[in-house]
Amino acid sequence: MPLKLDPPHDCALCPRLAAFLAGNRAAHPDWHNAPVPAFGPLDARLLIVGLAPGLKGANRTGRPFTGDYAGDLLYATLIKLGLAKGAYGQRPDDGLQLMGCRITNAVRCVPPENKPTPAEAKTCGQFLKGEIAAMPTLASLLVLGRISHEASLRALGLKPSAYAFGHAKIHVLPSGIRLIDSYHCSRYNTQTNRLTPAMFEEAVRAAAQN
């Protein structure tokens, strides 16, 4: 079966997530409320893999990391390091352009309480696999959090147990592609000081050196 880059708008492969989306569609008909497609050029050398759309962020606006705190830190860092051009306006029509990087999520649909199950991450992995296969010049992946780390390794046909997750750790994979780990740039992680903006910048900078 050919690899698919994007799930259908009404993908129901994860029944729990499809039901959650249906409830959100009824409550907020003006929100995106569907799988969130990746953002950025396919000929980028860097792919940033987040966890899943935030309820009031990407699930509302339809663009990864757009509209909630995680996006404030991510896009500010990308602009600072020359990986994005323009101003981040917390909305998909802000004109922001990604430069040499693309952003997606390990799980394309918003999960309740930001927590996809392992089965949901495995099911949606087929689209991450398609995403990776569609990037001919891919050299590095920046993976945000352990679930994205594991999903990305699986999508590359590798065993997650062979590569321990650690913030700012650089794994050189057998294909030569580099996988760089970072704690997720969520509000929770920054409020608890698990991840500071400086720590995040260090990981993004390492990933950008490709």
* Residue closer to ligand SF4 (CB basis): 67 or 125: 125
Residue 86, Cβ neighbours under 10 Å: how many?
A: 13
Tokens of 16: 């729990």
3-state secondary structure of 191: helix
Q: How far apart are CA 160 and CA 154, in angstroms?
A: 7
* Residue closer to ligand SF4 (CB basis): 100 or 130: 130
Min separation Cβ 8 and ligand SF4, Å: 8
Which one, of 49, 60, 2, 70, lies nearest residue 27 by Cα?
A: 60
Min separation Cβ 168 and ligand SF4, Å: 28
* Residue closer to ligand SF4 (CB basis): 46 or 107: 107
* Residue closer to ligand SF4 (CB basis): 6 or 201: 6
Min separation Cβ 34 and ligand SF4, Å: 8
Min separation Cβ 33 and ligand SF4, Å: 11
Min separation Cβ 194 and ligand SF4, Å: 26
Q: What is the CA radius of gyration of the chain?
A: 16
* Residue closer to ligand SF4 (CB basis): 70 or 109: 109
Residue ranges binding ligand SF4 (CB under 6 A):
7, 11-14, 17-18, 35, 107-109, 120, 123-124, 127
Taking CA atoms, 18 is separated from 33, 109, 130, in Å, by: 10, 8, 21
* Residue closer to ligand SF4 (CB basis): 104 or 186: 104
Min separation Cβ 27 and ligand SF4, Å: 18
Terminal alpha carbon distance of the chain: 31
Helix (H) or strand (E) holding 141: strand 140-144
Q: How far apart are CA 2 and CA 130, in angstroms?
A: 9
